[in-house]
Structure 1
């Protein structure tokens, strides 16, 4: 058998083509050139950017150096104001943020929780709703706090969250209210106070936005605390102490002052408040008076309820009043045209009330004149004498011959 080498002796392989190798080499060279070209361009671009940044930095550095030199050698060059003007402006807008400091501000925004106020500080200040008014309100606008309002506030705190200041109007109003109460006390003025609360010792009344205490011993009426709640009472100041936050009021003193305006014999309209076995309590315009059972009629009244009922309106006459205790004594008996009319015909008593009261006052005036005349009898130098008709006659030619008629003298005060 022929060997394998001998069998393939006649076979020939074609030689490798030099053309194909050259082509591949050319492609590789082109790719390498492209890569080198891109690489060179990237390097050139990086160098260009680096040079631009360097130039920009150099220019900025030059500007800074020039600015520094100007600040060092001529700091006020090109400035439109002087150094003195600058310091003056700083003093003008210098802000004191200590607690208790009063500042002026302008409201520029409100919401459900309060109002933002511009007080020319580094940040806005806030006015909470509860600090907007001495009275209880739900929204600041109820107290007239609206955008654009210019007002004086007091600093009461600082909000740590944003370093804003907390303002109050209520504290300023409290100061004014105490000052007003001191003034009213010095003038001994009667004021109106609304009863807003009560305790075992008395009632709490609101006056000038402040809450004061009215002891039961200083209330003229016999009403309970529940009956007085929500009502307005005439009051006078007994004690005004702002440092102790102590405000004490009296209804009795106010009533005594009002009663001083009622002369003996005055006719007033009253309302029956309650009935007692010994008489009826009559409300005469906020003053509680007693119509004793013996002063209802000339005839005996066995049962007051047969003549009067709570809620009845009637005319009564002032007999007397105790200013210290705040008690007033009343009468319908003196207004009866004939004894017993208050029981049989009360309408006639009311119709003739002013006429009967005038007669009563004349009798009082005449009695007073006679009392004065008795005193003059012991003083002959006065030159007057009293005739049988109760008229003071002259003992000198300077007085009228028919004497002085005292029956028209107005009734004297208590």
Structure 2
């Protein structure tokens, strides 16, 4: 049995011994290689650590030297002195008294206003109530957004944080008064919106300012309630910033507008109201009267059968009183045939310009006749009236050889 076992395991044992021998032969160079690699890595790590340590030591020495210089001689080698520092601060210093105007840049906005950088110790604040001469709910409505650079006026100081309170409204207020003075000097017609009324007249806003229009200076017969929220053409009567007094006139503005309306002009109008004696027509802000006798050649017993408030029609300027601001109108002169305004008003409006042209020609001829009568005894003027009723130069055949004989003209009664 022993010999059998030896025969069986002896080759196997020999094989195992051979394998162990081979493994040992292979492991020896691998272990050596690993050892060399570890030695290289360790050497590199030591080199890096030494370099970092050296750098840290150099930095530490540099900071220690800087600390000593700051402690013992802080201004050594510094060209910018303490006096230079104070001088630089003075360049950014400004008078922060109330009423001073400063430049600033908006850098933030909120629901109540805007924060402004005015290069002060603390930021300044612009309340929404001071952002515009007009009433607004948010500063952005006045174009105030971050990045906007503008001139502001200092109106106060917040004691809680020493921040300044700014205003744009105060600057705009001054500019508005200056603008009104200029418009008054140039006698310009402006638009004013009626925002209120009292016993003496109406209150209107012009150029952002609140002005007063006395009832005596309003050309229309409308009540204060009817004028509320409407725009009126106005002229300046008094502009006094010191007394905050701004007086305006609608009548003067109307007279200026009426000066541009020639007799015989055809304009569009809107019926405003009816009265037993006629209809009041709005012709572009001017209130004119179309008298019942000027509606048609035919008799009109009831104006309401021909016109109604709100009707739009063509009317002709018959006359106007610039001092009183009154304009007389006519549709009667525009009728192609008598009674058309009652029977066929559409035809009247279609032929309005043509009929007005005929009316103007008749007026021109009448004026020419009147001038000719005045010049009839003045042949030296060189003018005469031709067969068409037009004044023109006298021909040689029309001039008397020895002038006019005035002996037959009766003398005036001196007793009268």
Normalising by structure 1, report the TM-score: 0.76
Give, in angstroms, the shift of residue 174 of structure 1.
0.5
Q: Which runs of 5+ in 2 are unaligned?
A: 1-63, 397-416
**C-alpha distance in structure 1 between counterparts of 2:222 and 2:265, whole Å:** 25
Aligned counterpart, 1:146? 145
Q: Deviations over 1:230-282 (max 9, x none)?
A: 11111111111111111111111111111111110001111111111111101
1:187-206 equivalent positions in 2, closer than 5 A: 187-206=186-205
8 Å CA contact retained: 2:333, 2:355: yes
**C-alpha distance in structure 1 between counterparts of 2:345 and 2:113, whole Å:** 62
Normalising by structure 2, report the TM-score: 0.75
Give, in angstroms, the shift of residue 101 of structure 1.
0.1
Aligned counterpart, 1:80? 79
Q: Which sits farther off after the overlay, 164-173 or 198-207? A: 198-207
Aligned counterpart, 1:135? 134
Going from structure 1 to structure 2, the CA distance change for 1:83 and 1:161 (only over 3 Å counts) comes to closer
Give, in angstroms, the shift of residue 65 of structure 1.
11
* SS of corresponding position for 1:192: strand
**C-alpha distance in structure 2 between counterparts of 1:228 and 1:65, whole Å:** 78
Aligned counterpart, 2:178? 179
**C-alpha distance in structure 1 between counterparts of 2:311 and 2:94, whole Å:** 67
* SS of corresponding position for 1:273: strand
- Asked if 1:344 is matched to 2:376, the reply is no
**C-alpha distance in structure 2 between counterparts of 1:125 and 1:255, whole Å:** 47
**C-alpha distance in structure 2 between counterparts of 1:332 and 1:66, whole Å:** 102
Going from structure 1 to structure 2, the CA distance change for 1:84 and 1:367 (only over 3 Å counts) comes to farther
8 Å CA contact retained: 2:368, 2:385: no
* SS of corresponding position for 2:353: helix
Aligned counterpart, 1:261? 260
Give, in angstroms, the shift of residue 391 of structure 1.
3.2
* SS of corresponding position for 1:165: strand
Q: Deviations over 1:83-106 (max 9, x none)?
A: 774454233112211110000001
Aligned counterpart, 1:333? 332
Give, in angstroms, the shift of residue 108 of structure 1.
1.0
1:61-100 equivalent positions in 2, closer than 5 A: 67=72, 70=73, 77-81=76-80, 85-86=84-85, 88-100=87-99
**C-alpha distance in structure 2 between counterparts of 1:282 and 1:154, whole Å:** 49
Q: Which sits farther off after the overlay, 150-159 or 191-200? A: 191-200
* SS of corresponding position for 2:226: helix
1:224-373 equivalent positions in 2, closer than 5 A: 224-373=223-372
Q: Deviations over 1:143-171 (max 9, x none)?
A: 11111110100000111111111110110
Q: Deviations over 1:346-405 (max 9, x none)?
A: 2221121111100000011111122222222233222122234313343368xxxxxxxx
Aligned counterpart, 1:55? none
Q: Which runs of 5+ in 1 are unaligned?
A: 1-58, 398-414
8 Å CA contact retained: 2:320, 2:328: yes
* SS of corresponding position for 2:203: strand
* SS of corresponding position for 1:99: coil
Going from structure 1 to structure 2, the CA distance change for 1:203 and 1:113 (only over 3 Å counts) comes to same
* SS of corresponding position for 1:172: helix
Going from structure 1 to structure 2, the CA distance change for 1:132 and 1:392 (only over 3 Å counts) comes to closer
Aligned counterpart, 1:26? none
**C-alpha distance in structure 2 between counterparts of 1:196 and 1:263, whole Å:** 33
**C-alpha distance in structure 2 between counterparts of 1:309 and 1:66, whole Å:** 98
**C-alpha distance in structure 2 between counterparts of 1:394 and 1:220, whole Å:** 45
**C-alpha distance in structure 2 between counterparts of 1:282 and 1:393, whole Å:** 40
**C-alpha distance in structure 1 between counterparts of 2:386 and 2:233, whole Å:** 48
